Amino acid sequence: MDSIQQHFMQLYQSGISPDSLTALSMQAQDEMEGYIKQLQDAKKNYLKQHLDEDIAVYGITQLGDAEAMIEIYQQLGEKAKTGALAPLFEQIKDYCEGEIKRQQAAEAVQPGKPAPEFTLTDINGKPFSLASLRGKYVVLDFWGSWCGWCIKGMPEMKNYYKKYSKKMEIVGIDCNEPEDKWKEAVKKHELPWIHVIDNEKRKCCGDVCRQRFPHKGHY
């Protein structure tokens, strides 16, 4: 990397125009991406020739790309899965299966599509189902009292709810915190909309929300 920077500095000092430097930089970047792709393809091709061997299990960890890892993981032979690196395979399996589920969830949650159905416990300890709001305009607000940006946006959310509550509903979905902290935050910040918690297997937060917090979805 240092040698590349020195090369561009020499070109700059020689009087070459900034536009030309930019073009050269973009060309170098394209070439580097091409080399990386060639290397990745070579790794995958090698592993595909050794799918029943331990090297294939280890090789998956060296791919560094979820799509490539899943591709090889799904083709592994039984000997590799149950061989000397079986414990490592189990870790790879957990990761790849998790990624597959995340990808499927991301495909399911797209503009114009309904949100995946879920039933969670509301703040009064009763089951709440998203299906109960079918036909209404709904905003799913994924948050937590531990999320500073979530709390910072609450005043604006309250104003929005006050203005449009006759036409829409907000469902606050608290993720990944103790129930007492959740209830305390709802009371402290006086949040008037529906509140549910997803603090066990995080099924809803996992299936619907794949982004950083705070995250809001319109359905």
Only one residue has tokens 């790309």, namely 65
pLDDT on residue 35:
77
Q: What is the pLDDT of residues 103-135, one digit of tens each?
A: 776 666 555 566 677 888 999 999 999 889 888
Q: How far apart are CA 64 and CA 46, in angstroms?
A: 15
C-alpha 139: how far from chain center:
20
Identify the three-state secondary structure at position 16: coil
Q: How many distinct helices (H) and strands (E) make up the chain? A: 10, 6
Q: Please, are residues 51 and 76 in contact by the beta-carbon 8 Å criterion? A: yes
- Averaged confidence pLDDT in the chain: 81
Measured in residues, the chain has a length of: 219
Q: 119-218, what's its fold?
A: Glutaredoxin (3.40.30)
Q: What is the pLDDT of residues 10-42, one digit of tens each?
A: 655 555 565 665 666 677 677 777 778 888 889
Retrieve residue 208's tokens. 């619907």
pLDDT on residue 61:
93
Whether the CA torsion 200, 204, 208, 211 is positive or negative: it is negative
Which residues of the chain form beta strands (DSSP E)? 119-122, 127-129, 137-143, 168-175, 194-198, 215-218
pLDDT on residue 1:
47
Q: What is the pLDDT of residues 85-99, one digit of tens each?
A: 999 999 999 999 988
Domain extents for the chain? 2-108, 119-218
Q: What is the pLDDT of residues 58-75, one digit of tens each?
A: 999 999 888 999 999 999
Q: Please, are residues 171 and 133 in contact by the beta-carbon 8 Å criterion? A: yes
Higher pLDDT, 69 or 149: 69
